[in-house]
Structure 1
Amino acid sequence: MNIPRLRYGSPARAGLDPQETNLLVQEARALTEGPRPWCAGLVVLAGRGPVVAVEAAAGWALRYRGWDEERGGPVELPRAERVAVTPATPFDLASLTKLFTAFTTLQQIERGTLGLDAPVADHLPDYPAAAHHGFTVRQLLTHTTGLRPELPLYDLPDLAARIEALRVEEPVAETGTRIYSDLNMLILQQLLERVTGRPLDRLIEECVTRPLGMTATRFGPAPGAAATEDQRRPWAKVDRGPLRGVVHDENAWALGGVAGHAGLFSTARDLGVFCRTLLGGGSYGTARVLGADHVALMLDLGLGFEVDRPWFMGELAGPHAAGHTGFTGTSLVVDRATDTFLVLLATTVHPRRTTPDSTPRARAATRLRRAVRGAG
């Protein structure tokens, strides 16, 4: 099968209303403006079918020197020292990494090395909690193991202690209860590495990014990436100072930068290819990385993906819309009903994390949905 590769074209060529796509770009750019913007910088990319109709960069990949705790505000860099965002700027994907962990898991299910409803203990017999509570691969992918959202692995002395804490962690709720948890993806990482004999970074590269030509997608360090946080207590969990090009998530950092829940860096263009692959049933160009039935299974059941979430999908939300968000300001949505995709990469934690606000994500998705309607 040869699925058309992405190409750039006008909104009209993509079957989108130019007025709505213009508003999408204008509103996105406005998010980087003012003394306290929603984000320091962003790239937005959107399209329909194989056509990228929107690609816009705004703001700064590096705007601040850090955070002044006494003054309670950011410390601006002189304009001459700032770095502008471009469409080729890599961003810390944060939890969008989970999509790639889920995708590689479905690849193993398709190959028969894993079963969706097989007990995790079949492959990780040394994980007592998984064995005792009967965790399945499906439960890890759907966040229904009952495990708490995270563990403070960053406070433990070394990698061995961190893996041990994950290995013996007991659920805080009855198995089957949905609690969104990074721990599920960390256990999936251990499972994938045990089954394939390959580390997660190599597995994702060999099975997903390389065959799709996603050359900008990799675990850090990522020179030239958009800056994230001046990471210090009390607002952060560790004291690392200003971060750029190294993973923001504290637990991913504590695990060496490669983790099932966070750690990947990518560009909007690369993620557009990933979106097109999902909408193309697991194929892109001449590359086939997953069968269409397993892609449908993943998106229909929300295996690693969030499905029909208006809080960040806006009016694009529906039973055929799937995607995810990331703590650093990233998000991705694909909608099979309209054959559309939206990638928003932003730096909402530069120079310091704030209360998460997904209103701009939802607004951008709504603009894309209205662009479909406006085009008739």
Structure 2
Amino acid sequence: MTPATMIEQAFAPAAAAIDSGNIPCAVLGVVTANGERAVHWAGHAQIEPVHELVSRETWFDLASLTKVIFTTARILHFVEAGRIALDDPLVTVIPDLRQYDLNAAERRLTFRQCLAHNTHLPAVEPLYTYGQDPGTLRAFILQRVWQPGPPVYSDINFMLLGIAIERITGQALIDQPLPERFSFRPDPKLCAATEKDTWRGRIVRGEVHDENAFALGGASGHAGLFGTIDGVLDFALSLLDGSALSPESIRAIRTRESEKRTVGWEGFYPGWHGGDACSPETIGHTGFTGTGLWIDFERGLAWSLLTNRVHPSRHKDSGILNLRRATGERAVALFDQHGRLSAT
């Protein structure tokens, strides 16, 4: 079996989803620890108002992959540089967090807790409905009396981390330096379209789909990053080969902070989006727009499935959970059978 045939077989569930109209397009990429990679793609980057084919060079709104590719990695780099410690409270760099109540629970939140979604903060809040002034919305996030609740996967955690990055660097997130093939300001003509947004009154393309990130100026700690499949695979390879982070940081993203969460990432559990064929040493993350990345450290294998499942509307059943699981299980099975999965 040729590498091209193997990646095509791994892509079969995505091809079926495109043919059935569940998603407009998909790009699947796989990379191994020794640098072999395979990429396959099909479908349309845009179907409204006109049809445009997807390609290997198409830029996708990575949505919550921003949390791991940008925010988590950047925070860990600050830890490695001695600028902060994971168990430092956020007020170390955001002293005005809940500044009118020095006993507020938010003032005790640590970087580790926010990265691992181990806080009392809610999953999400429609901040964009309060206005679109980025400075005022940041102040609202910092001074809001957040209602306590059990730990949940929370965008608010990463909004706070994004503000922390801005405070440490003195630079807005949208202006932060990024690796090649990533951007907070992509060329819209190169991007896959996302939703026909009733709030903005247009098809969203080349601007962040997430309303809160848009209102915060186009980039936030939880969303706003765009990238190509090869950019995502480059990042995955840098974790597999240890070049992106220190051994201590790699250990942190692989070590459980809770049943399902590590520092920044989700760890393997039965029924998760990455599929049940993953080894227990697999971490992953998904994005609302239809993106995902999984890294199996035991196998030395990573794969990313990028789709624009919310185009032209999020209000349909795209079957994304089953698609992700089937894709991951096929990619792992083919790797186990053949020991390689690469094609140019």
Partner of 1:342, secondary structure, is: strand
For 2:93, the equivalent position in structure 1 comes to: 123
Instruction: Give, in whole Å, the separation in 2 of the partners of 1:130 and 1:136.
Output: 15
Q: CA deviation at 1:55?
A: 0.9
Contact 1:44 1:57 in 2 (8 A): yes
Q: Which has the higher contact order (CA 8 A, sep 6+)?
A: 2
1:144 to 90, 97, 118: 118
Contact 1:125 1:131 in 2 (8 A): no
RMSD in angstroms over aligned alpha carbons?
Answer: 2.1
For 1:368, the equivalent position in structure 2 comes to: 331
Residues 1:197 and 2:170 are matched in the alignment: yes
For 1:71, the equivalent position in structure 2 comes to: none
TM-score relative to the length of structure 2: 0.88
Structure 2 CA distance for partners of 1:273 and 1:221, relative to 1, 3 Å: closer
TM-score relative to the length of structure 1: 0.81
Alignment of 1:64-83 (within 5 A): 64-65=48-49, 77=50, 82-83=51-52
Alignment of 1:1-376 (within 5 A): 11=3, 21-34=7-20, 37-65=21-49, 77=50, 82-99=51-68, 100-128=70-98, 132-133=104-105, 134-157=108-131, 158-173=133-148, 177-205=150-178, 209=179, 215-223=180-188, 224-232=190-198, 238-281=199-242, 283=243, 289-301=244-256, 302-309=262-269, 310-353=271-314, 354-355=316-317, 357-375=320-338
Structure 2 CA distance for partners of 1:264 and 1:145, relative to 1, 3 Å: same
Partner of 2:272, secondary structure, is: helix
Cα deviation 1:303-338 (Å, max 9, x = unaligned): 111111442110243431111100110000010010
Q: CA deviation at 1:123?
A: 1.8
Runs of 4+ in structure 1 off by over 6 angstroms are none
Q: Which amino acid aligns with 1:317?
A: C
Q: Which amino acid aligns with 2:250?
A: V
For 1:4, the equivalent position in structure 2 comes to: none
Q: Which amino acid aligns with 1:115?
A: A
Structure 2 CA distance for partners of 1:358 and 1:98, relative to 1, 3 Å: same
Cα deviation 1:341-374 (Å, max 9, x = unaligned): 1011101011000346311011111011212332
Q: Which amino acid aligns with 2:301?
A: T
Q: CA deviation at 1:54?
A: 2.6
More strand by share: 1
Cα deviation 1:15-62 (Å, max 9, x = unaligned): xxx87644212222222113xx22101111113223444311100011
Contact 2:10 2:334 in 1 (8 A): no
Q: Which amino acid aligns with 1:193?
A: E
Cα deviation 1:79-101 (Å, max 9, x = unaligned): xxx21000110001011000110
Unaligned ranges ≥5, structure 1:
1-9, 12-17, 66-76, 210-214, 233-237, 284-288
Q: Which amino acid aligns with 2:19?
A: E
Unaligned ranges ≥5, structure 2:
257-261, 340-344
- Identity value in percent: 32
Contact 2:7 2:39 in 1 (8 A): no
Contact 2:289 2:309 in 1 (8 A): yes
Q: How many equivalent residue pairs?
A: 324
Instruction: Give, in whole Å, the separation in 2 of the partners of 1:178 and 1:299.
Output: 20
Cα deviation 1:92-126 (Å, max 9, x = unaligned): 10110001101000000111111111111222121
